[in-house]
C-alpha cells in the first residue's frame, strides 16, 4: 500500500504532494496538448473514460449477481441500499507494483451496512477488497483479538469465554438472519477504474428498485488517476528517472519521480443524470480536513449534482460527528434553502456506541419522507 519507501498519499494530499512538483515523466505520456478531456462534455468524458480504461474481467459475473439479487428483492417489495465503502487505489503501472491509496478503512460503510440490514433493507455492499466488512469487522480488525477469548477443552473442542460469547451473540444472530433472508451482496473493487465500472453497472441494475432505493456513497474515491494509455507497462525503474539538481544550491539530489494525474470523471453527475435516473434517494458523503470549508463544499455538491442529501464529515472527528446538509428547495434566497443538521455521538470522542446507529435511522426517516412524496406525486399517496 505504499509507493517508494514510506510515502503514502491520500487523494487529498495529492495537490500538495512534492511528487507533483518533481521532474520525472512516466513513459508513454502524451504531451499535455494532446489530452482533450478538458474540452469534452461530461457525457463524452464518461464515455471516453470507460472506453479507455478497461472493465475488470469479473464485471460480467458481478453484473449477474447484482441483477439476480436486486430482482429478488424487488419482487418482495423490499427496500434496497447500494453502499460504497473504503478507498480506491490509483495504480502507477499496468503490472502493478506501486499505487496511490488513501486512508479509508471502510468503517463507515461496513458499520452502516449492519444498521441498514437491521432496518430491513437489502444491502449491495461495493467495497474495497480487504477493507472492513459487515459482521466480520467485529473480530477481524479488533485489537481485542478473538482467539484470546477461546481455549481448548479436554475433549478437543473450543470453549469461548462467557463475556465474549455474550458480545458476539447479537452479531451472530444478525448475521444468521441476513444469511437466511439473503439480504447482503458483497462485491469487491481495488482500483478507481474497477470502482467506476462496478458503480455504473450497479446503478443501472438499481433502476427497477425506484423510490425503494437508496444510494449511500461513502467510499473515498480518488479524484485523480493515471489513464491506462499513460501507464508504464512494467515496474517503473529508478534508472529511468532524471537526475535532478537541488533548487537554489544546485547540488545533485539523485533520482526523482514526477507523476501526471488526470481528473477522475465526476461520477456523481453521471450516476444521477444517466446511470440511475430513478427517484431513489442519493446520499453522497463529503470529507474535508478544514472545518471552514466543509459546509460550502457540501452545498456545492448539492448545487452541482442536484441530489438530495450530502453527509459532511471531517477527517479527525468523523467517528463521532457528521452534518446532514439538505437542499430544502423551498425558500427564495439561496441561503434559506439549506438545512444543516449536526448529528453527534453523546460523549464525543469518548462516547459509547457507533455514530452509524444515529446516522442510519435519520437516513431511513428521510428516505421514507421522500417515498411518500413520490407516492403522492404519482397519485398513490
Contact residues for ligand PAZ, defined by CB under 6 A: 104-108, 218, 220-221, 285-287, 313, 318
In the bound state with ligand PAZ, the residue whose beta carbon lies nearer, of 84 and 205, is 84
Dihedral of the alpha carbons of 45, 51, 52, 56, in degrees to the nearest 10: 120
Q: How many whole angstroms separate alpha carbon 76 and alpha carbon 331?
A: 39
The torsion angle over the Cα atoms of residues 14, 16, 18 and 23, rounded to 10 degrees, is 80
Nearest to 221 by CA among 10, 4, 6: 10
Task: Name the residue nearer to ligand PAZ (CB basis): 106 or 213.
Answer: 106
Least Cβ distance, residue 353 to ligand PAZ (angstroms)? 15
Residue 120 CB, shortest distance to ligand PAZ, in Å, is: 23
| Least Å from the CB of residue 218 to ligand PAZ | 5
Q: Which positions ≥6 away from 148 have C-beta within 8 Å?
A: none
Q: Which is nearer to ligand PAZ, 132 or 371 (CB)?
A: 132
User: Nearer Cβ to ligand PAZ, position 200 or 286?
Assistant: 286
361/285 Cα distance (integer angstroms)? 16
Minimum CB distance to ligand PAZ smaller for 99 or for 285: 285
Closest to 117 (Cα-Cα) out of 75, 72, 175, 73: 175
Contact 108, 318 (CB under 8 A): yes
> In the complex with ligand PAZ, which residue's Cβ is closer, 10 or 183?
10
Find out whether 192 and 225 touch, Cβ atoms under 8 Å.
Answer: yes
Residue whose C-alpha is closest to residue 302's, from 279, 277, 285? 285
Under 8 Å between Cβ of 114 and 174: yes
Q: How far is the CB of 117 from ligand PAZ (least distance, A)?
A: 18
Q: Would you say 105 or 204 has its CB closer to ligand PAZ?
A: 105
Distance CA 98, CA 22 (A): 18
Asked if residue 74 lies in contact with residue 207, where contact means CB atoms within 8 angstroms, the answer is no
Q: How far is the CB of 161 from ligand PAZ (least distance, A)?
A: 29
Whichever of 69 and 285 has its CB closer to ligand PAZ, that residue is 285
Q: Nearest distance from residue 313's CB to ligand PAZ, in Å?
A: 5
Number of other CB atoms surrounding residue 275 within 10 Å: 20
Residue 380 is placed in which grid cell?
Answer: 398513490
**Which is closer to ligand PAZ, CB of 266 or CB of 318?**
318
What minimum distance in Å lies between the beta carbon of 88 and ligand PAZ? 10
Min dist. Cβ of residue 83 to ligand PAZ (A): 11
CB of 164 to ligand PAZ, least distance (A): 25
Distance CA 226, CA 35 (A): 13
Amino acid at each position: 500500500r505504499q509507493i517508494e519507501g514510506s510515502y503514502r498519499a491520500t487523494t487529498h494530499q495529492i495537490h500538495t504532494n512534492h511528487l507533483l512538483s518533481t521532474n520525472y515523466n512516466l513513459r508513454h505520456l502524451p504531451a499535455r496538448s494532446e489530452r482533450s478531456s478538458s474540452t469534452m462534455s461530461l457525457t463524452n468524458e464518461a464515455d471516453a473514460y470507460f472506453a479507455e480504461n478497461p472493465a475488470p474481467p469479473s464485471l460480467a459475473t458481478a453484473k449477474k449477481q447484482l441483477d439476480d439479487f436486486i430482482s429478488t428483492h424487488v419482487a418482495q417489495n423490499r427496500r434496497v441500499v447500494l453502499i460504497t465503502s473504503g478507498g480506491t487505489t490509483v495504480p502507477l503501472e499496468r503490472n502493478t507494483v506501486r499505487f496511490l491509496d488513501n486512508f479509508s478503512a471502510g468503517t463507515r460503510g461496513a458499520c452502516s451496512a449492519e444498521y441498514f440490514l437491521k432496518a430491513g433493507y437489502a444491502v449491495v455492499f461495493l467495497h474495497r477488497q480487504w477493507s472492513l466488512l459487515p459482521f466480520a469487522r467485529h473480530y477481524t480488525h479488533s485489537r481485542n483479538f478473538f482467539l484470546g477469548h477461546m481455549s481448548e477443552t479436554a475433549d478437543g473442542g473450543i470453549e469461548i469465554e462467557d463475556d465474549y460469547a455474550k458480545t458476539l451473540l447479537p452479531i451472530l444472530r444478525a448475521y444468521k438472519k441476513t444469511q437466511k433472508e439473503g439480504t447482503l451482496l458483497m462485491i469487491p473493487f481495488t482500483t478507481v477504474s474497477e470502482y467506476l465500472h462496478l458503480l455504473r453497472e450497479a446503478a443501472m441494475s438499481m433502476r427497477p428498485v425506484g423510490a425503494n432505493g437508496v444510494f449511500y456513497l461513502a467510499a473515498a474515491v480518488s479524484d485523480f488517476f493515471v489513464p491506462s494509455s499513460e501507464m508504464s507497462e512494467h515496474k517503473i525503474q529508478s534508472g529511468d528517472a532524471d537526475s535532478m539538481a537541488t533548487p537554489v544550491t544546485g547540488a545533485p539530489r539523485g533520482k526523482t519521480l514526477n507523476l501526471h494525474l488526470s481528473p477522475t470523471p465526476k461520477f456523481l453527475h453521471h450516476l444521477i443524470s444517466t446511470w440511475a435516473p430513478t427517484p431513489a434517494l442519493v446520499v453522497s458523503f463529503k470529507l474535508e480536513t478544514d472545518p471552514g470549508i466543509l459546509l460550502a463544499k457540501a452545498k456545492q455538491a448539492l448545487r452541482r449534482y442536484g441530489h438530495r442529501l450530502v453527509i459532511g464529515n471531517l477527517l479527525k472527528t468523523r467517528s463521532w460527528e457528521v452534518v446532514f446538509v439538505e437542499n430544502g428547495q423551498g425558500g427564495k434566497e439561496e441561503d434559506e434553502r439549506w438545512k444543516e443538521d449536526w448529528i453527534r455521538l453523546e460523549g464525543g470522542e469518548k462516547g459509547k456506541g457507533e455514530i452509524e446507529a444515529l446516522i442510519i435511522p435519520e437516513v431511513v426517516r428521510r428516505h421514507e419522507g421522500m417515498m411518500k412524496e413520490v407516492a403522492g406525486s404519482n397519485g398513490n399517496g
